[in-house]
Chains A and B, each alone.
Chain A
Amino acid sequence: MTHFPGPLSAGTPASGAAPLLSVRGLAVDFDGPRKKIWGPPSKIRVLEDISFDLARGETLGLVGESGSGKSTLGRAVLRRLPIADGRIVFDGKDITHLPLAGRRALSRDIQMVFQDPYTSLNPRMKVLDLIAEPLIVHGIVESAEEARDRVAELLRLVNLPVENIDRFPHGFSGGQRQRIGIARALALRPKLIIADEPVSALDVSVRAQVVNLMQDLQAELGISYLFVAHDLSIVRHISDRIAILHRGRMVEMAGCDAIYDRPAHPYTATLLKAVPEPDPRHRRGTPTAPPPAPRIGELVMEGGACRYSKGCAKATERCRAEAPVMSRRGRDRWVACWEA
């Protein structure tokens, strides 16, 4: 396990103050196939050596393709997964090893917004019950009726007409449902919201409504966001900094403009080139042969090499022999690449 020297949140809105969330050398294992029928399952390391800080009121964009571990990282921070290695400090408390009761209490401060607003809301619960549920679970109110005023206030906060309070989710559009999901996440006044691709399932014209709402809420309530995305097209607008994940490792983390204007890691450059621009004269450059899709099993075997070395145009002998470590480049940029 390597440790990062120096701060990981330079240039953020609240730099200087202690970060809200601090992750160091985080690793997560999943169970793989068993070698013997009754033997223990093998371990597959799906996240390895992840380190970052998140300041209060800051948004960190976590970007990676399928299989990169971006959702797993979100769930690990929520402490919904066993941690194999490393340390997570939230709001000054070490939450790496929490008993069940502690994890429950943690969910008052860390909430999640899910990708698919069509499946993440129980169709048999009214808006009132959906939004009041976290309040009941945490013993703040006895019944949904008791929370009616708070729910109405939350609906106003996410720009939904309060008359909707007794309706069921099926009558709402995708964007409205996602706002119900956000109201539900806000009910406990969390300090951190993990948003797992909150706009990927929405139409383009509605995405902006949800992203802008999230920004307004941040300005109003001072929440921090971990904003998970599968490409670089929308995160620029909401993130202060962006971290790029590739096959369970972080390959680059930098301020927004640095990522877009001067990508340092070859994979970041590939991701940027792959985003289709809505301009017929700006013809898409073909990304240089990205590596084949990751297979869970492959992650174990790769051992020492850089995981991007197979598809990387800049790869050298060193890349194939030794995994690069995150190192600091400039004031606010971290890169894991021997050649960058």
Chain B
Amino acid sequence: MDDPAMTADDTAPILELRNLEVEFDTRAGTVHGLRGVSFAIRRGETLALVGESGSGKSVTASAIMGLIQLPGAVTGGEILWKGQSLLGRAGERRARRLRGREMSMVFQDPMTSLNPLMSIGSHLVEVQRRHMGLSRRAAAARGAELLDAVGITEPHRRMGQFPHELSGGMRQRVMIALAIACEPELLIADEPTTALDVTIQAQVLDLLSDLQRDMGLSILLITHDLGVVAGLCEQVAVMYAGEIVETGAADDIFDRARHPYTQGLIRSTPRLTDRSERLVSIDGAPPGLLHPPAGCAFEPRCPQSSERCRARPALAAEPGRQGAFACWNSTPSAWPEAAPGPKASFA
């Protein structure tokens, strides 16, 4: 820990994934959880990792945090923190020092990620003593400040309370306080608001956005909800079946998505202003990753698949535009304009 911000150049990514592969050995065979994932996060940037269940978003986060456990293993690629690898023996030693200190994580379920036998204060004191070497007293004082910073009222009283005494939104705020306690540079938030009510979700998202601005935090936000992405993130990476299919600036992705899957995802997200009676959906289901397809993983569900799609497209940048996508036949709009009409009559 000798070269913080001093030498780092602001445009260099603080975290970079290169062709990361993760496999899980199961009785049925090898599940290819990640099949070559690459992206980078710069300082102060918010990147949303978007995808549906099983697409590998959470596996990506676990890999970065070193939480992949047997039978899973990172089998290929690189995870670079400020240019230095976090894999291999030396890398893992480095990573152990970083995790919790320079990068920290907020999990989805605030109900199960706090220890029910420890007071809120003990959680906050533990993390600061472990990573920052603070005394118990100093850690307690700072803990109350942290609770205040995440918008918890009466922080001193809350320090003595136990997780079951707090509501879901409060618990998620405590989780965020714990995650920012050591002033990390990167916060990984894995579906931080999925378990919360919408009004509480809006508050927690505002909190994350404030923290990002005030602390210059980089955030990797993992979510399945494009609405959450639009409200908080500048950069978006879309995952499908263990790979990244499109990356780009949020505005570009929402306006001019190039991958048919991204376009389909945006189309199927309901909007409040939409009066139509029919919702649009992407028919079919993602492929199983036990035997991942050799070609494009989205091909069976794609409205414009062709012969070429039997070969797997690589993530390629488009000239004159930031971002990249993995599709042979990309068009501005792969899906038919009108929503499909009522289905033909039943048997």
Q: Please give, as numbers and ranges, the residues of chain A lying within 8 Å of B283 by CB-CB distance.
A: 209
Segment from A125-133, A276-284, A328-336 that makes contact with B: A276-284
Q: Please give, as numbers and ranges, the residues of chain B lying within 8 Å of A327 by CB-CB distance.
A: none
> Is B199 a contact of A206 with CB atoms below 8 Å?
no
Q: Please give, as numbers and ranges, the residues of chain A lying within 8 Å of B67 by CB-CB distance.
A: none
Closest to A206 in B: B281
Q: How far is B170's CA from A6's CA once the two chains are assembled, in angstroms?
A: 43
> Is B198 a contact of A175 with CB atoms below 8 Å?
no
* CB within 8 Å of A: which B257-304 residues: 264-266, 268-283, 285
Min CB–CB distance B53 → chain A (angstroms): 6
A189 within 8 Å of B by Cβ? no
* Given contacts A175-B285, A208-B279, A260 and B202 within 8 Å (CB-CB): no
B347 within 8 Å of A by Cβ? yes
For the A-B complex, the count of residue pairs with Cβ-Cβ distances under 8 Å equals: 146
A270 within 8 Å of B by Cβ? yes
Q: Please give, as numbers and ranges, the residues of chain A lying within 8 Å of B126 by CB-CB distance.
A: none
Min CB–CB distance A238 → chain B (angstroms): 8
* CB within 8 Å of B: which A130-156 residues: 153, 156
A275 touches which of B167, B198, B347 (Cβ 8 Å): B198
Min CB–CB distance A189 → chain B (angstroms): 14
Closest to A65 in B: B197
> Is B272 a contact of A279 with CB atoms below 8 Å?
no
> Is A280 a contact of B199 with CB atoms below 8 Å?
no
> Is B201 a contact of A276 with CB atoms below 8 Å?
yes
A204 within 8 Å of B by Cβ? yes
Segment from B28-36, B222-230, B306-314, B322-330 that makes contact with A: B222-230
> Is B346 a contact of A212 with CB atoms below 8 Å?
no
As a 0/1 sequence over residues 34 to 51 of chain A, the CB contacts with chain B under 8 angstroms (1 = contact) are: 000000000000000000
* Given contacts A208-B268, A276-B225, A286-B206, A173 and B285 within 8 Å (CB-CB): yes
> Is A237 a contact of B203 with CB atoms below 8 Å?
no
A230 within 8 Å of B by Cβ? yes
* Given contacts A204-B224, A237-B277, A293-B169, A276 and B268 within 8 Å (CB-CB): no
A99 within 8 Å of B by Cβ? no
A14 within 8 Å of B by Cβ? no
> Is B199 a contact of A234 with CB atoms below 8 Å?
no
Q: How far is B53's CA from A282's CA once the two chains are assembled, in angstroms?
A: 26
* Given contacts A286-B203, A292-B167, A277 and B271 within 8 Å (CB-CB): yes
> Is A234 a contact of B281 with CB atoms below 8 Å?
no
* Given contacts A153-B347, A277-B271, A283-B231, A65 and B53 within 8 Å (CB-CB): no
* Given contacts A233-B272, A260-B272, A290 and B231 within 8 Å (CB-CB): no
Mark B residues whose CB is within 8 Å of A.
52-53, 167-170, 197-203, 205-206, 224-231, 250-251, 254, 264-266, 268-283, 285, 342-343, 345-347
| 13 residue pairs bridging A and B, Cβ less than 8 Å apart | A204-B225, A204-B226, A205-B265, A208-B268, A211-B279, A237-B278, A260-B272, A271-B198, A274-B202, A276-B231, A278-B226, A279-B271, A287-B199
